Chain A
Amino acid sequence: MGFSTIAAMMSGAAAVEAGALLSAISTIGLEMSLVGAVTGSKGLMKLGGVMGLVGGVGGLINGAVSGAASATAESAMGLGTDASSLGAVNGMDAMSDAFVSSGASGAGGFGAEAVNGLNAINGSDAMSDAFTATKTEGSFGGWASAADDAKKALDMTDATGALPVANTPDAFTFNAAKYSQAFNPSTAFGDATRPLDASATGAAQASTGSAGNNLIAYSADGSKIPYRPDNGLYGTVTAQAPKDYFTSFLDWVKNKDNSQIMMLGAGALKGISERSMFDEKMAMEKSRYQYGNTVANFQGRQPLIGARA
């Protein structure tokens, strides 16, 4: 399973809410600091500290702004005490059993899940049906007929087979006969029963929500980009190297003038604190005022003492 595929599935199927994201960043930072402390790695501790700062301050701001949302996220993401969270964790055992027994590297199981996940992301059942047909039939005849079905589903009635691609400016010509000769699943996929997966390009496009006919990468002239087994299913082509990733992150932190993150966090917290104090004071004044209204502190229409009748 490729890195990009998992990332695409996560971004499409289970979008991480901002508060949970910041909480995750903070937790990852904490873990990195902790492991850095155990191994004596100052670099890891520093990185963890930065991540904790970013996630922590961001989480505080986010929590202050949307308390209800954060509370929901907390209960969902899991203090572990609520039923849904524990249920999910308990269910994980069953999930792993089912996952294992279903054949993660076979034609069903997680492969099917991956197809469903990609369907949800790119919204094209037709193309996945085409792929499923290809996968199960194991011959390109299946692909050609499935491609026809896909064309019908996409309402493309051009007799020449011109298949406009939503995310490219120019339509490319889709010639089923040509691909029926050029495409050999036994060599292209290696193992016909391997789970269907998107290529790196396909997954990247899928994550952007572009149209669904992009699960196989094509070059501009319509020729299929050679399948790279190591990059498609199990590859890490889109995973940035840790050093590069954290360098960009640290640069981002450095580029904030006078640690803008801290200022942002501190400013927000100061405002929240002041607002909180103001609210408390107003609440006290309000209760005092209301109490005053319940007590007759004036006498109303009465002849004043000493006044003439």
Chain B
Amino acid sequence: MLNDKANPLLMKTEQASRAKVAPDQKAAYDKIVAAGVKLMYSEKLHKMLLEQLRQPGDPATVAGQGVAKLLGIMMNQAKGTFPMKAGIPAATALLCEALDMLDQLGKIKVTNDTVSAAMQSLGSSLLQLFGVTPQKLDSILSKQASPAQSAMQSKNTAQNAANPTPAPTRPGPQPLIGAPA
């Protein structure tokens, strides 16, 4: 989505991110980026954007938080059908867009460190929006570890119930070799 006048580093980052998107996700990726850019520059969100820019702290970090919040709004509007595998790379593209805007406004000077800091902020903010904490991961892993075996067993039981093994048919009594009839 960045134009030719954008910072080369940002263009490179965006292109690298897009290149890693699976082919079947490209269309979704493009649409999310388009919708995000549209929202970002919309007149109605202008106030939110300005407020975000006034946040204290490193502008790159603030930009990362802002993009995460933008993605959060979009995800919330999508009501659980947001394609995550396209959405996260799209967030990177939106971050590049935001950083480019800040660069053109003279708020920041885009360098490797700036982009890294902004990406770190974006990642951390997104994870916090999803409610990912060490405690949450502990609970997920502990829940997944214990039912693993039981899930396998129940799956097998279900399969056996669906396809019961036929009982072996015994040949029955036979006259013994050499026995009188």
Contacts and interface: CB of A to CB of B under 8 A. Distances in A.
Identify whether the interface residues of A are mostly helix, strand, loop, or mixed: helix
Interface in A31-72: 31-32, 34-41, 43-44, 47-48, 51, 54, 58, 61-62, 64-66
A93 B181 contact: no
A301 B147 contact: no
B151 A88 contact: no
B84 A77 contact: yes
B119 interface: yes
> Size band of the A side of the interface?
35 or more
A87 B46 CA distance: 28
A85 B28 contact: yes
Contact of A80 (B13, B28, B126, B152): B28
B4 interface: no
Given A1-B69, A34-B16, A44-B116, A27 B140 contact: no
Contacts of B51: 230, 233-234
A92 B73 contact: no
Interface in B1-36: 9, 12-13, 16-17, 20, 22, 24-28, 31-32, 34-35
A286 B165 contact: yes
Nearest to B19: A34
Interface in B130-181: 130-134, 136-138, 140-141, 143-145, 147-149, 151-152, 156, 165-166, 168-169, 171-172, 174-175, 177-181
Contacts of A22: 140
Nearest to B140: A18
A78 B166 contact: no
Interface string A180-213: 0000000000000000000000000000000000
Nearest to B96: A35
A27 B88 contact: yes
B130 A36 contact: no
B89 A307 contact: no
Nearest to B179: A307
Interface stretch (A96-104, A135-143, A144-152, A165-173): A96-104
Q: Which of B34, B112, B121, B132 has the most C-beta atoms of chain A within 10 angstroms of its own C-beta?
A: B132
A38 B134 CA distance: 28
Nearest to A98: B77
> Size band of the B side of the interface?
35 or more
B45 interface: yes
A248 B134 contact: yes
A87 B92 CA distance: 23
B140 A104 contact: no
A252 B134 contact: yes
B42 interface: yes
B144 to A, nearest CB: 5
B31 A268 contact: no
B115 interface: yes
A203 B42 CA distance: 26
B13 A39 contact: yes
B147 A65 contact: yes
Nearest to A22: B140
Interface of A: 1, 3, 6-7, 9-11, 13-16, 18, 20-25, 27-32, 34-41, 43-44, 47-48, 51, 54, 58, 61-62, 64-66, 76-81, 84-93, 95-97, 99-106, 109-110, 113, 117, 230, 233-236, 238-243, 245-246, 248-249, 251-252, 261, 264, 268, 271-272, 275, 279, 286, 289-290, 293, 298, 300-301, 303-304, 306-309
- Report, nearest first, the 3 A-B pairs whose CB atoms are least far apart: A78-B83, A252-B134, A88-B81
Given A10-B131, A14-B82, 4 more contacts: A28-B126, A39-B112, A92-B77, A307-B181
17 contacts: A10-B76, A10-B129, A10-B131, A27-B84, A29-B123, A38-B12, A58-B140, A80-B24, A80-B26, A80-B28, A80-B86, A92-B31, A92-B78, A239-B65, A248-B133, A268-B148, A304-B175
